[in-house]
Structure 1
Amino acid sequence: MENQLPLATANANINAAAAAPLQPVAGKVPKKFIGYIHNFRGVAIIYVVGAHILLNWPDGSVTHKILDIILQNSTILFLFIAGYLFQHLSAKFEYKDYLIKKFQNVICPYLLLSLPVIVYRVVSQDINGFTLEEHPDFGAWPRWEQVGYYLLHGAHLQQLWFIPMIALYYLIAPLLLYVDRKPVLYRYVLPGLIILSLIVHRSTLSDTLVMAVHFLSVYVFGMFMSRYKDEFLVFAQKYAILVTVLPLAFITLNYFVEKPYYDPIDYIHKMLFCPFYLYWLWRLEKYVPKFVDVLAVLSFGIYFVHYFFVLAFRAIYQKVFHTPMPGNFFIWLGCLIVVMLLSIWTLQLARKVLGNKSKFLVGC
């Protein structure tokens, strides 16, 4: 999608399209605010939490397989949005200020929420499976090395592997902006990174460098789509069927492919769903339910706290019934709703008690 349309022409087309039915009304939101990408954050966090509901599904469960295909690897949606917003807000980029803000909003809550978990891990030596898979002798490591490993790899709680990885992208932000400010580079860099992602698959969650290499294409794809946001919406209106059907075709293919092809097809279908959601959340913006806005505002905080409730539910059920929580669609849906509600109420309480300082503890 090269920048062949003059920007004025693209903007004129978008403004004309906005007058059509089902289009967002122009001029009703702050200049820097993009409603559809904001709502996409709310959708993405549903994917993330839904993927983390831990149930004991029956062997060969079709429901589990379908949910797994839809929800797993939802990191792609989250990272795409991060790259999109990075480019969108980059006009007055100052590296020092950027790193300070990311430390306050991302690294600080990561450290504070990690502290009790790491203390528990080190004292009890309750080491999770993927860490032992990567390092079978981990229990014999000195305690200080275990602490360092947990912090540098996010290996102490399942979802926290994401933070050390995205921190690497924060560090290389000037390099990424160099690509964006010479947009001709996208035509060389982005295809190469996508090929690299298809070769270098998702690894053990705590393998930070491998995961950073694998997901870099997603972050840069988000930047690319932000730079050409107007042109994309013109393209998507003209080829709405293609934007809609292609991701649905690949997600269906994901159900039937053999194991060696599963991860590449999964990567492709999640990448295709990023423009899918951009278009349809833009097209139907005024119909998006209010709760999606609530989820979007609190999305990063939900990311930080939801897994504590998932583990608590799992432990309570195991203690009461002496068996893992069984897996079926209705139990999964009920757990998803309750975990979301508890996460939202916790974050709202934190914001009420701590005010603006809540971002240092829970990221929002």
Structure 2
Amino acid sequence: MATVKPQKIHSIHVLRGVAIIMIVFSHCLGVFKNSNLIANSYLFSFLNLFAFNFTTFFVLIAGFLFQHLTYKYKVKEYYLSKFKTVVCPYISVSIFCFLYFHYQSLSSLPFFSSTEPSALGSIVKMMLTGTQLLPLWFMPMIIMIFAISPLLYSWSQKSLIVIGLISMFWVVMFTKPDYTRPLLNLLHYGPVYLTGMMIKQNYEKIMQLVKDNLLLVIFFFGLCFCIPFVYRYVDYLGVEKLYYDTLQKIILFILALYFLDGLNRKNEHGRTYKFFSYMANISFPIYFIHEIIVLLLEQQVFNSPIADVIRTDNGQLASLGAISFLISTLTISIIIANLIKWIFKDKAKYLIGGNR
């Protein structure tokens, strides 16, 4: 067991910033709902597939950092920290969603009933499934992972190579379930968390393995990306029942760690690093805020003279529109996050999550 505080891993910090940008981008792409976009545009299809499931990065990073920080793990302190920085903002953002997005439907129901749908029952169900706002499906699942941290800690003291390899095989066979089913999502992303722990435990070996087999690793990433891309346009490939999106992101994560490894030996970093570092620092508030901004921006565009842009079947136009949505959403989210922090100071972490 590690007894000395390990150094900060700058590459992981950068990847957290990348992950939050891509998660926001995937939701901005989702604004453009014309069913012909993917069929009509390889560009939009590529962006849609590449941006999808960067949640895997968040889970890998969480597992990686859990393994990295086992030297200071104490179960009571860990639970208290996660309650303050994860559960509390989840509750506060959910309250906003209930009041702003669901008030009309909830107010039409009786407050409590054991025989028919009720407001209380609907609220409890949404809290347990994270369905009150699209990105919040992640919260019940990650909270369950945090809840089993004593078990994960005991595993962290043993070799994780075998369980990590099994996990990478498992996520291909056990496809990502519907986002409204947190227990099944736990069965899919729990192994991803373990894979993140395994990568940290065997970091030097994995980096050397990638260095010695770089072209092969890039080939596997390309294969995991191209297969789901191609079978969007081909009737039958014989591999449709396998799920490559999560494995694709795991391999991309390992490749990114390899290419960014030089950051971990630098004392000074340039503007690009500082940008992604800032995005990483504010990633949790952005995660909680951004979908609200996306929905409000979508509503404003839908009610404006350029509403047809949202319904376009032109992939290039939709891609440009999604990038515009991304820039606007990130800018507004950062402004709101900093405003909340300025008003509530240290208490802001209970409302929208804390800065890293």
Q: TM-score by structure 1 length? A: 0.82
Q: In the TM superposition, what whole-angstrom CA distance separates every residue of 1:15-57 from its partner, at most 9, and x where no partner exists?
A: xxxxxxxxxxxxxxx9531100000101111110011011234
Q: What percentage of aligned pairs have identical amino acids?
A: 26
Corresponding residue to 2:184 among 196, 199, 210:
210
1:235 shift after superposition:
2.7
Of 241, 260, 284 in structure 2, the residue corresponding to residue 300 of structure 1 is 284
Deviation at 1:198, TM superposition (A): 2.7
Counterpart in the other structure of 2:55:
75
1:298-332 C-alpha deviation (Å, 9 max, x unpaired):
11111111111100011111222465724512111
Paired residue type of 1:141: P
CA distance in 2, matches of 1:108, 1:266: 31
Mark the CA change 1:324 to 1:113 in structure 2 (over 3 Å): closer, same or farther: farther
The question of 1:161 aligning with 2:141 is answered no
- The alpha-carbon deviation at position 177 of structure 1 amounts to 1.4
Find the counterpart in structure 2 of residue 330 from structure 1.
Answer: 320
Cα pair distance change 1:240/1:174, threshold 3 Å: same
Compared CA separation, residues 284 and 92, structure 1 to 2 (3 A) = closer
Confirm or deny: 8 A CA contact 2:168 2:247 kept in the other structure. no
Q: Does 1:242 align with 2:216?
A: yes
Select which of 32, 35, 57 maps to 2:7.
32
Instruction: In structure 2, give the amino acid aligned to 1:55.
Output: F
Alignment match, 2:194: 220
Aligned partner of 1:124: which letter?
Answer: Q
Q: How many residues align?
A: 321
2:249 paired residue number: 270
CA contact (8 A) 2:92 2:351 kept: yes
Classify 1:103/1:256 alpha carbon distance in 2 versus 1 (closer, same or farther; 3 Å): same
SS in 1 for 2:303: helix
Q: 2:175 aligns with which of 181, 198, 201?
A: 201
Which of 46, 60, 77 lines up with 2:21 in the alignment? 46
The letter of the residue matching 1:168 is M
Q: Which residue pairs with 1:314 in the alignment?
A: 298
SS of alignment partner, residue 320 of structure 1:
coil
The whole-number CA distance in structure 2 between the counterparts of 1:324 and 1:362 is 31
1:272 shift after superposition: 0.8
SS in 2 for 1:167: helix
Q: Does 1:113 align with 2:93?
A: yes
How far off is 1:271 after superposition? 1.6
Amino acid at match of 1:189: I
Q: Retained in 2: the 8 A contact 1:200–1:210?
A: no
* CA 156–64 in structure 1, closer or farther in 2 if over 3 Å, else same: same
**Aligned residue for 1:55?**
32
- Greater shift, 280-289 or 209-218, is seen at 280-289
Contact 2:10 2:263 in 1 (8 A): no
Taking the aligned partners of 2:102 and 2:33, their CA distance within structure 1 comes to: 27
2:130 touches 2:140 (CA, 8 Å); kept in 1? yes
- Cα deviation digits, residues 224-256 of structure 1 (max 9, x gap): 111112222233333333333431332123211
Letter in 1 for 2:47: L
Q: Report the counterpart of residue 173 of structure 1 in structure 2.
A: 149
Find out whether 1:91 has 2:75 as its counterpart: no
Provide the aligned C-alpha RMSD in A.
Answer: 2.3
The separation in 1 between residues aligned to 2:319 and 2:101, in whole angstroms, is: 32
Aligned to 2:111: none
CA distance 1:237–1:284, change in 2 (3 Å): farther
Say if 1:121 and 1:347 are closer, same or farther in 2 by CA, change over 3 A.
closer
CA–CA distance in structure 2, aligned partners of residues 229 and 347 of structure 1: 34
Secondary structure in structure 1 of the residue aligned to 2:304 = helix
- Distance in 1 (CA, whole Å) between partners of 2:152 and 2:273 is 34
CA displacement at 1:203 relative to structure 2 = 1.8
Specify the alignment match of 1:132 in structure 2.
Answer: none
Q: Structure 1 stretches of 5 or more lacking a match?
A: 1-6, 8-29, 127-139
- Judge conservation of contact 1:122–1:146 (CA < 8 Å) in 2: no
CA change 1:263–1:359 in 2 (3 A) is farther
3-state SS in 2 of match to 1:346: helix
C-alpha distance in structure 2 between counterparts of 1:177 and 1:190, whole Å: 15
Displacement of 1:192 in angstroms is 3.5
Tell me by how many angstroms 1:333 deviates.
Answer: 0.8
